[in-house]
Structure 1
Amino acid sequence: MILEQFYLQCLSHASYLVGDEATGRAIIVDPRRDVDEYLADAQRDGLRIEGVVNTHFHADFVSGHLELAAATGAWIGFGEAAETDYPIRRLRHGERISLGAVEIEVLSTPGHTWESVSLLVRDGAEPIAVLTGDSLFIGDVGRPDLANLGGSTNTDLARAMYGTIHKTLLTLPDHVQVMPAHGAGSSCGKNLSAALVSTIGEQRLSNPAVQPMTEDDFVALITAGQPAVPGYFSTDADLNRRVHTLFDSTKTVPALTDAELRDVLSGAGAFVIDTRAPEEFAVGHLAGSVNVGLGGRFAETCGMVADIGDPILAITNPGQEQEALLRLSRIGYDNVIGVYDTSPGESGSAFPASLSEFVEHTDRVTVAELADLLEQNSITLLDVRNLGERESGYIAGSLHIPLAELARRASEVPDGRPVVVHCQSGWRSSVAASLLRAQGHSATTDLLGGYAAWSETMAATPGSETAEE
């Protein structure tokens, strides 16, 4: 048996190759859109990819099933309830996919979505691992509120998940490895572990969401406190149901000259994403640009601030152009019209003097400066963390709008006074502050070090009463 996990840190996404070394037959499970690594590893191991299974319609990325089918002629498999624009193999509960001595048993595991399946990998008769998709995570279970089908509700899906966990997955032997489609950081659940592999026995003991409880208690647990949903999730879930343009790994976009960049900035319609670190961005950036650094959850965050149809201009450090294009393409954002490399000249500026009229800088606020501003009651303080983060502590008087909701809720930020944004560490706050400035809240900055720096400083300050639990 060959069982290989591919993990993409920036999307917290795991995909799998399952093969039989003796027969040379293999399938790929939950592939990302850039499929060259799967093809290369299959060739290395002498495997022929004959099937591609998606455990469900993914919402956080565009799956690579169409690309793999085009490259290999493989069939595409989904759970029985799936409806698509392309031919699929409908996978029914209890069905066996034989690769030789290695067999894959299909388990119907609705709850995250109705069509969700898990795949129990057997070596001969022995169950070895279960690929759980977004049903059973390590440390949690999948949320039920991303992609309802028909007239069902989140509660209906949550009740289905209760059955999936207690009547299907927890009935497997304790030694069976649990290999989900996502890890820590994913918006598909709220308490996902950084571990990439566990066992049924370990989850039975340590996973809070699968402990003995009533169905009503389970429903209440998994429908509360979920992270805000990035705006592009519904778009990608729909894309994965449809025939769409295949990913092209050879695609390039124009590298703009200074003059061409000036022309784009003087026109209208381009959404400018600056992929540099927040520290570099603050020193000097194009007015109206939104800072989504490649060092963070780049693709998912771009999907929170830009629409899939927006023509995008990417500002990058030299050598990072293709990485930005690839990561945007993984969520279906193929409409990049150009890239511009920032190469600091003798002045130290990332942009030449010929573009100075378009360049601005921001002074990020320290904890001490924020404390003074709050004392003076002279600002609006905006917290863009997720609900679960805020529940562990927040700054008194702060307005709460999760980053994933800010683009559509920016009108809730009061006009007429400066805004200071904070997140947990200072990366998302730079995204949020730049987005607000681009939408007209010009007097907006953010907190260096985020809530982590604030709470650490306040804890060391005798008599401080600025955080609420």
Structure 2
Amino acid sequence: MHFAQYYLDCLSQASYLIGDETTGRAVLVDPRRDIDDYLRDAEAAGLRIELIIETHFHADFLSGHLELARATGATIAFGEAAETGYPIRRLRDGERISLGGAGAEAGAGAEAGETEPAGVTLTVLATPGHTPESICLVVHEQPEAAEPYGVLTGDTLFVGDVGRPDLLAAAGLTPEDMAGRLYSSLHDKLLTLPDATRVFPAHGAGSACGRNLSTETTSTIGEQRRYNYALQPMPEADFIRLVTAGQPATPGYFAHDAALNRDGHPLLDTTPPAALTLDEALAARRDAGAVLLDSRSLAAYTEAHFTGSLHTSLDTRFAEYAGSVVEPGTPIVLVSDPGTEAEARLRLARIGYDHVLGHVLDPAAELARHPELVSRTRRLAAGEAPDGETQLIDVRNPSEYEAGALPGAVNLPLASLSGDCASLDPDRPVVLYCRGGSRSVIAAALLESRGFRDVRDITGGYEAAVSARG
């Protein structure tokens, strides 16, 4: 068996290439949109990708199933409950997918009781809860093996957590209903697997698809049975209360991406972003409603940036934060360090933000030449106290806020601040803070772009402020 995990740190996202080296047949599970790594590695291993399996409709990134199908001719497959805007193969609960020989048709499935498939085999488990169409895939190197090699758990089970059940509330499915389905999927399907079964999830630490994900990208069923807080013995009602409370705020682009993954989307454009003069960039902002998105470091942005520009640095969770402060479909002009604009465009494309008009040539030089267009982020030292007229805003996630906050602070998480800022008075001073000082700068840029007159953030964030106050 050829088995490879591809882990994308900037989105905390994992995809998997699984193949039978005897026959050369392979499947790709949960691919990201840029597919060159998969194609290169499959060719090097002598594998043909014949099936693309999505464990569910992803909300946090744009899947690469359409790109991969175009490049390889492979069939796209989802769980049986999926309804899509393009042709798919629906995978039934208990269906087995053989990648081996013995005359098996490429990618053919088998039900229990039919002819036993040969070689590397995947068994489909319907595991609704995170979404209705969610599936997991049990992997056997040989069908007759006593124990599975592992299980690909999608967003049903993470290392240290389980999938959040609240993302489909707007579709008429309550978090409580989905949590009940998740409880059954975990206890009736995944926890019946042997303890030694390796666990390969679709996400790791930092993902907004859960609240307590580990930095480890693999585990075992036994380890999760012992240490995962959500898998400890408890009545179903207690589980439902546990997993529906304290989830991270949902980034604004999630619904957009889920719809594109369900209905279809244009194929990835890999051409480099166009180089724009400053005049062209400003004209795009004025005439096309484009935003200037500054991807430089936090230090560079706070020192000098184009007034009204938005910010999220490439050395943070760039795409996720961009999707929190830029509305889907908005034209974007990048303000990037020379040589990094292609990376910024690719990361935006991974969440379906394809409307990049170009990048400003040599931003540092343009900022130096045009001081009349420049602003500097106003920051409070950690020990400074905002006055009584100030609107003190904590932009961390609800669980962080509940664990401890500065006196008088109101929790408006960064992920939802774009809509929530309507509750603030733009004529009163605003002071923002996060955990360490990165998200608060992104939030400050958003408020400044919305016309707030006096915005500051606390250098070093909550941790520094608490330390300074003793």
Task: Give TM-score scaled by structure 2 length.
Answer: 0.93
CA distance in 2, matches of 1:437, 1:151: 36
Q: Report matched runs for 1:375-414 at 5 Å.
A: 376-414=387-425
CA distance in 1, matches of 2:278, 2:424: 35
Query: Structure 2 vs 1, CA of residues 255 and 150 (structure 1 numbering), >3 Å: closer, same or farther?
Result: closer
Aligned residues of 1:184 and 1:192 also touching (Cα < 8 A): yes
| Pairing 1:357–2:375 present | no
Superposition deviation, residue 194 in structure 1: 0.5
User: For residue 153 of structure 1, what is the aligned residue in structure 2?
Assistant: 174
May I ask how many residue pairs the two structures share in their alignment? 449
Aligned residues of 2:168 and 2:174 also touching (Cα < 8 A): no
Pick from 91, 96, 108 the counterpart of residue 126 of structure 2.
Answer: 108
SS at match of 2:168: coil
Aligned residues of 2:194 and 2:221 also touching (Cα < 8 A): yes
User: For residue 82 of structure 1, what is the aligned residue in structure 2?
Assistant: 82
Superposition deviation, residue 343 in structure 1: 5.1
Aligned residues of 1:75 and 1:88 also touching (Cα < 8 A): yes
User: For residue 308 of structure 2, what is the aligned residue in structure 1?
Assistant: 288
User: For residue 334 of structure 1, what is the aligned residue in structure 2?
Assistant: 354
Q: Report matched runs for 1:13-28 at 5 Å.
A: 13-28=13-28
| Pairing 1:121–2:142 present | no
Deviates more, 1:265-274 or 1:313-322: 265-274
Aligned residues of 1:82 and 1:115 also touching (Cα < 8 A): yes
User: For residue 116 of structure 2, what is the aligned residue in structure 1?
Assistant: none
Superposition deviation, residue 203 in structure 1: 0.3
Q: Report matched runs for 1:298-317 at 5 Å.
A: 298-317=318-337
CA distance in 2, matches of 1:268, 1:41: 41
| Pairing 1:261–2:281 present | yes
Task: Specify every segment of 5 or more residues in structure 1 that has no aligned partner in the other structure, as ranges.
Answer: 462-469
SS at match of 1:351: helix
Q: Report matched runs for 1:58-69 at 5 Å.
A: 58-69=58-69
2:349 counterpart letter in structure 1: S
Q: What are the superposed Cα offsets for residues 221-255 of structure 1, whole Å, 9 maximum, x if unpaired?
A: 00000000111111110100123210122x12221
SS at match of 1:15: strand
Superposition deviation, residue 282 in structure 1: 1.2
1:82 counterpart letter in structure 2: A
SS at match of 1:241: helix
Query: Structure 2 vs 1, CA of residues 395 and 191 (structure 1 numbering), >3 Å: closer, same or farther?
Result: same
User: For residue 447 of structure 1, what is the aligned residue in structure 2?
Assistant: 458
2:444 counterpart letter in structure 1: A
CA distance in 1, matches of 2:204, 2:307: 36
User: For residue 467 of structure 1, what is the aligned residue in structure 2?
Assistant: none
Aligned residues of 1:158 and 1:223 also touching (Cα < 8 A): yes
Query: Structure 2 vs 1, CA of residues 131 and 276 (structure 1 numbering), >3 Å: closer, same or farther?
Result: same
Query: Structure 2 vs 1, CA of residues 362 and 210 (structure 1 numbering), >3 Å: closer, same or farther?
Result: same
Superposition deviation, residue 210 in structure 1: 0.5
Aligned residues of 1:19 and 1:47 also touching (Cα < 8 A): yes
Q: What are the superposed Cα offsets for residues 311-353 of structure 1, whole Å, 9 maximum, x if unpaired?
A: 11110011100000000000000001120144545xxxx6142
Superposition deviation, residue 457 in structure 1: 2.4
Pick from 234, 249, 252 the counterpart of residue 213 of structure 1.
Answer: 234
Superposition deviation, residue 261 in structure 1: 3.1
| Pairing 1:195–2:211 present | no
CA distance in 1, matches of 2:9, 2:299: 22
CA distance in 2, matches of 1:74, 1:135: 25
CA distance in 2, matches of 1:425, 1:228: 18
CA distance in 2, matches of 1:240, 1:144: 18
Superposition deviation, residue 262 in structure 1: 4.3
2:49 counterpart letter in structure 1: I
Pick from 237, 244, 260 the counterpart of residue 223 of structure 1.
Answer: 244
CA distance in 2, matches of 1:149, 1:173: 37
Aligned residues of 2:285 and 2:291 also touching (Cα < 8 A): no
Task: Give TM-score scaled by structure 1 length.
Answer: 0.93
Query: Structure 2 vs 1, CA of residues 8 and 154 (structure 1 numbering), >3 Å: closer, same or farther?
Result: same
SS at match of 2:179: helix
Aligned residues of 1:271 and 1:312 also touching (Cα < 8 A): yes
Task: Specify every segment of 5 or more residues in structure 2 that has no aligned partner in the other structure, as ranges.
Answer: 101-118
Superposition deviation, residue 150 in structure 1: 5.8
Aligned residues of 2:281 and 2:333 also touching (Cα < 8 A): no
SS at match of 2:255: helix
CA distance in 2, matches of 1:262, 1:180: 43
Deviates more, 1:323-332 or 1:145-154: 145-154
CA distance in 1, matches of 2:183, 2:286: 55
1:426 counterpart letter in structure 2: G
Query: Structure 2 vs 1, CA of residues 50 and 437 (structure 1 numbering), >3 Å: closer, same or farther?
Result: same
Q: What are the superposed Cα offsets for residues 268-292 of structure 1, whole Å, 9 maximum, x if unpaired?
A: 6111111112211111111110111
Pick from 247, 257, 260 the counterpart of residue 236 of structure 1.
Answer: 257
Aligned residues of 1:113 and 1:148 also touching (Cα < 8 A): no
Superposition deviation, residue 149 in structure 1: 8.6
2:406 counterpart letter in structure 1: I
* Identical counterparts, % of pairs: 52
